[in-house]
Amino acid sequence: MQHPKPPFSGACLCGAAQVRVTAEPLLTLACHCRDCQKLSASAFSLTVMVPQDSFTCSGDLIVGGRKSDGRVHYFCASCLNFVYSQIGTGSGRINLRSSVLKEAALFAPFVELMTEEKQPWVSLPVQHSFARYPESAAQVQDLLEAYRDR
């Protein structure tokens, strides 16, 4: 598989929130959970996971989505486009919505999550599939390594 070369950049729907990523992504994924279906107004969400220290976002953002422990979802304050999520404090990783990136076409999902809530007519060409989520940090590490070595 081709490895897209950083930097990557993009913007929300209205352009007020500009994102930039200076490192290679850590993982690409699709999530089929019901929350992501509602958030994306679609059948699944698409994520490019990137190192937090490689990521910048300018523009006014607001916190939205479901308020849950360890996850904060950021939206453009002007157009309310879903831009990224902070996953855990100290994880060092950002879940950027693939759709805001100009290079979105390069980031086919490598992993899919929450297939137990998947719409039955969706089929994605992923390498790894989970009924829910990876169960351990070691399993996540294996996915990151598999993605890097793809």
- C-beta closer to Zn ion: residue 3 or 70: 70
User: How many C-alpha atoms does 113 have within 13 Å on its Cβ side?
Assistant: 19
30 counts as binding Zn ion under rule CB under 5 A:
no
Residues that bind Zn ion (rule: CB under 5 A) add up to a total of 10
- C-beta closer to Zn ion: residue 23 or 43: 43
Cβ at position 35, least distance to Zn ion in Å: 5
Sort strands 18-21 and 55-58 into parallel, antiparallel or unpaired. antiparallel
62 counts as binding Zn ion under rule CB under 5 A:
no
List Cα–Cα distances, 46 to 9, 12, 60, 97, 135, in angstroms.
16, 14, 22, 6, 20
Residue the block writes with tokens 């890097």: 148
Cβ at position 3, least distance to Zn ion in Å: 26
Pick out residues in 76-105 that bind Zn ion (CB under 5 A).
Answer: 76, 78-79, 81
